[in-house]
């Protein structure tokens, strides 16, 4: 047995079976070209191949698979939004996470442990009541809790910071949770490529060739490809990629910073966030505390971390849990978020016939990975935007029908 | 800490300033079409290059323009609006 194992290990034709095949040669044309190999693009390819029988699909990724905002987000999954259109959409997103591991035959480690948002003022409490009523009306689990309930849900919280930022209550969202972001992308990639979808990594789109109101072809650093339908889903690069097709998106890019501490014993059993402190915490299954939510106060494409933002996040975390003061930071990073004027995404049609948008995902994209993929696939397959996506169309910025979700997060905006 | 040079107060910590977004030329509200007005409201410069922006030095409430590179974050120049605005 040991000899056999050694022989197997040293064999030249060691049979490796990978979940995700290596980048193949680029073909001359594809029915669907998806620009951006992150969670959203991969999910769309999966739904196209599994539910719509469209397998002649190429995903073009400038860097490596899911190395952008799919890798940089803080994995919060929730549906405690405020507009009926937003809640309906994100609610289905949360439900799809519930069945994702079975659907993909890949453990995405979905952990629905609930999210607690803290209020330090009466004003915030009033807005929580509004959000809770909207949530209940739309069928999500969302309720306002008082100080005593906050302490029961999260006994470690510092309820009274010298009276300065006393916790008055909270918004308890039992549907909230987390999942392993890499696994979500890999699961979709594995299932999509098994059905014939080609994933082209290190393939950068250099130009998008438009004629007669349609995208005719896409020129990449590996050659030109003709395309039936095209979808743009490339996170922080959406504005620049759409500009290559002459489409000017209502997007401004801001860096969003986050960090993790050294791993410790499990103690934090919910997601905790504070709107006033612009800080949120979650303990990962490895034991690290993921601390997030600092948007830089000015536009930039730089993904360098800044000391003042890290200090701000550390201050917020210590504010809520003073015993964290001696914790060490293990990693810190930033991602480029493509922010829209109303803090809602842009999905659906573009001014070009066969160009579809899955953009403007700002700081809120990860939770929508499955639901955006599902409905964008439906859009591309039928050539028609389904009703659930209609409110998110780019035309809302000319008809002034904005979908304001500004208060829906603890990130600082 | 990053430093921003205010045309009136000289070099100061960037935390003393408020970012007011890219400069956008306002069309005439009486003549502009709805589409142009929507463009003015919702579209802003976001290229990975030099962009002219509004900034405010908060303690002195002084508003000025800065040209900054969105890719590198380098501030190219700062100037008073009376020294000319982009078209």
- Residue among A240, A251, A398 minimizing CB distance to B35: A398
Tokens of A26: 């680029």
Is residue A182 within 8 Å of A104, Cβ to Cβ? no
Tell which of A339, A368, A387 closes a domain: A339
**Whether B75 contacts chain A with CB within 8 A:** no
**In Å, how far is A365's CA from the nearest CA of chain B?**
20
Binning pLDDT at 50, 70 and 90, where does residue B87 land? low
Instruction: Decide if B19 and A299 are in contact by the 8 Å CB cutoff.
Output: yes
Say whether both A99 and A193 belong to one domain.
yes
On the question of pLDDT at A340 being above 50, the answer is: yes
Instruction: Decide if A243 and B47 are in contact by the 8 Å CB cutoff.
Output: yes
In tens, the pLDDT along A10-22 reads: 887 776 778 899 9
On the question of pLDDT at A140 being above 60, the answer is: yes
Is residue A51 within 8 Å of A380, Cβ to Cβ? no
pLDDT at A410: 53
Instruction: Decide if B46 and A252 are in contact by the 8 Å CB cutoff.
Output: yes
CATH number of the domain at A170, please: 3.30.9.10
Instruction: Provide the number of structural domains found in chain B.
Output: 1
Is residue A356 within 8 Å of A384, Cβ to Cβ? no
CATH number of the domain at B58, please: 3.30.2270.10
Q: Where are the alpha helices (DSSP H) in A75-162?
A: 84-98, 100-104, 122-138, 147-153
DSSP code per residue over A181-204: HHHHHHHHHHHHHHTT-EEETT--
pLDDT at A412: 47
pLDDT at A315: 94
Q: How many CB pairs under 8 A join A and B?
A: 49
Instruction: Check residue A22 and report its DSSP letter.
Output: P
Q: B72 to chain A: which residues are within 8 Å by CB?
A: 302
Domain holding A193, by residue range, is: 27-112+176-250+341-413
* Residue B55, domain member (yes or no): yes
pLDDT at A9: 79
To the nearest 10 degrees (0 to 180), the angle between helices A181-194 and A39-51 is: 30
Instruction: Express as a percent the part of chain A with pLDDT over 90.
Output: 88
Distance CA A188, CA A179 (A): 14
Domain holding B48, by residue range, is: 3-82
Is residue A389 within 8 Å of A356, Cβ to Cβ? no
In tens, the pLDDT along A233-254 reads: 999 999 999 999 999 999 999 9
Distance CA A257, CA A292 (A): 7
Say whether both A325 and A357 belong to one domain.
no
Distance CA A112, CA A138 (A): 19
Say whether both A201 and A320 belong to one domain.
no
Say whether both A85 and A231 belong to one domain.
yes
Q: Which residues of A62-88 are buried (b: 16+ CB within 10 A; e: fewer)?
A: beebbbbbbbbbbbbbbbbbbbebbbb
Binning pLDDT at 50, 70 and 90, where does residue B4 land? very high
Say whether both A332 and A351 belong to one domain.
no
Tell which of A339, A363, A386 closes a domain: A339
Tokens of A189: 């990639």
Binning pLDDT at 50, 70 and 90, where does residue A45 land? very high
Q: Assign residue A391 a region (left: φ > 0; alpha: ψ between -120 and 50; beta: otherwise).
A: alpha
Say whether both A230 and A277 belong to one domain.
no
* Residue A5, domain member (yes or no): no
* Residue B87, domain member (yes or no): no
Could you count the other beta carbons within 10 Å of the beta carbon of residue A10? 8
On the question of pLDDT at A409 being above 80, the answer is: no
The residue in chain A having the minimum alpha-carbon distance to the alpha carbon of residue B70 is A300
Mean pLDDT computed over A369-377: 98
Distance CA A397, CA A130 (A): 25
Q: What percent of the residues of chain B are helix, what percent strand, and what percent coil, each to the nearest 5? A: 15, 40, 45
Q: A250 to chain B: which residues are within 8 Å by CB?
A: 42-44
Instruction: Provide the number of structural domains found in chain A.
Output: 2
On the question of pLDDT at B73 being above 50, the answer is: yes
DSSP code per residue over A234-293: -GGGHHHHHHHTT---S-EEEEEEEEEE----S---SEEEETTTTEEEEE-TTSPEEEEE
Instruction: Decide if A301 and B48 are in contact by the 8 Å CB cutoff.
Output: yes
Say whether both A237 and A325 belong to one domain.
no
* Residue A145, domain member (yes or no): yes
* Residue A19, domain member (yes or no): no
Whole-number average pLDDT of chain A: 94
In tens, the pLDDT along A98-116 reads: 999 999 999 999 999 999 9
pLDDT at A413: 47
* Residue A117, domain member (yes or no): yes
In tens, the pLDDT along A249-291 reads: 999 999 999 999 999 999 999 999 998 888 999 999 999 999 9
Mean pLDDT computed over B2-31: 95
Say whether both A306 and A170 belong to one domain.
yes
Say whether both A118 and A228 belong to one domain.
no
**Whether B38 contacts chain A with CB within 8 A:** yes
Distance CA A30, CA A167 (A): 55
Say whether both A57 and A102 belong to one domain.
yes
* Residue A3, domain member (yes or no): no
Backbone angles phi, psi at A207, to 5 degrees: -150, 155
Residue A150's SS3 state is: helix
Could you count the other beta carbons within 10 Å of the beta carbon of residue A2? 6
On the question of pLDDT at A208 being above 50, the answer is: yes
**Whether A297 contacts chain B with CB within 8 A:** yes
* Residue A408, domain member (yes or no): yes
Tell which of A313, A339, A365 closes a domain: A339
Q: B54 to chain A: which residues are within 8 Å by CB?
A: none
In tens, the pLDDT along A52-94 reads: 999 999 999 999 999 999 999 999 999 999 999 999 999 999 9
Torsion of CA B14, A119, A132, A337, to 10 degrees: 20
The residue among B1, B14, B53, B64 whose CA lies nearest residue A299 is B53
In tens, the pLDDT along A355-368 reads: 999 999 999 999 99
* Residue B13, domain member (yes or no): yes
CATH number of the domain at A86, please: 3.50.50.60
Tokens of A111: 């952990």
Say whether both A221 and A273 belong to one domain.
no
**In Å, how far is B82's CA from the nearest CA of chain A?**
23
């Amino acid at each position: 047995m040991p000899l056999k194992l050694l022989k197997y290990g040293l064999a030249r034709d060691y049979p490796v079976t990978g979940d995700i095949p290596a980048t193949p040669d680029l073909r001359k044309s594809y029915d669907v070209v998806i620009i951006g190999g992150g969670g959203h693009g991969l999910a769309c390819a999966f739904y196209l191949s599994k539910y719509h029988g469209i397998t002649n699909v190429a995903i073009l990724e400038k860097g490596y698979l899911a190395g952008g905002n799919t890798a940089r987000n803080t994995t919060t999954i929730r549906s405690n939004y405020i507009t009926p259109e937003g809640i309906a959409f994100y609610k289905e997103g949360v439900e799809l996470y519930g069945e994702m591991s079975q659907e993909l035959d890949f453990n995405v480690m979905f952990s629905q442990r609930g999210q607690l948002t803290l209020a330090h003022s009466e004003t915030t409490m009033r807005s929580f009541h509004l959000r809770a009523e909207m949530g209940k009306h739309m069928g999500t689990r969302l309720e306002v809790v008082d100080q005593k309930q906050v302490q029961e849900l999260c006994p470690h919280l510092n309820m009274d910071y010298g009276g300065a930022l006393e916790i008055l209550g909270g918004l308890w969202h039992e549907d909230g949770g987390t999942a392993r972001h890499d696994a979500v992308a890999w699961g979709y990639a594995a299932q999509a490529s098994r059905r014939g979808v080609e994933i082209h990594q290190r393939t950068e789109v250099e130009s998008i060739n438009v004629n007669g109101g349609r995208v005719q072809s896409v020129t990449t650093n590996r050659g030109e490809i003709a395309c039936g339908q095209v979808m743009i889903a490339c996170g922080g690069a959406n504005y620049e990629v759409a500009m290559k097709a002459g489409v000017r998106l209502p997007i401004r890019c801001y860096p969003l910073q986050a960090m993790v501490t050294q791993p410790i014993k499990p103690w934090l059993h919910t997601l905790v966030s504070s709107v006033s402190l612009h800080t949120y915490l979650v303990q990962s299954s490895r034991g690290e505390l993921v601390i997030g939510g600092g948007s830089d106060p000015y536009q930039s494409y730089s993904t360098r971390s800044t000391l003042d933002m890290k200090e701000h996040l550390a201050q917020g975390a210590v504010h809520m849990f003073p015993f964290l003061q001696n914790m060490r930071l293990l990693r810190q990073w930033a991602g480029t978020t493509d922010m829209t004027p109303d803090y809602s995404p842009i999905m659906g049609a573009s001014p070009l016939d066969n160009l579809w948008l899955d953009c403007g995902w700002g700081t809120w994209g990860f939770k929508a990975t499955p639901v955006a993929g599902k409905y964008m696939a439906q859009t591309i397959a039928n050539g028609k935007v389904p009703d659930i996506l209609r409110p998110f169309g780019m035309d809302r910025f000319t008809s002034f029908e904005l979908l304001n979700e500004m208060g829906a997060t603890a990130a600082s905006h | 800490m990053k430093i921003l040079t205010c045309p009136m107060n000289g070099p100061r910590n960037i935390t003393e300033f408020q970012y007011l977004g890219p400069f956008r030329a306002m069309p005439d509200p009486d003549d502009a079409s709805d589409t142009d007005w929507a463009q003015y409201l919702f579209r802003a410069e976001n290229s990975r290059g030099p962009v002219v922006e509004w900034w405010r030095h908060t303690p002195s409430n002084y508003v000025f323009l800065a040209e900054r590179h969105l890719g590198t974050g380098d501030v190219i120049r700062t100037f008073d609006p009376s020294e000319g605005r982009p078209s």
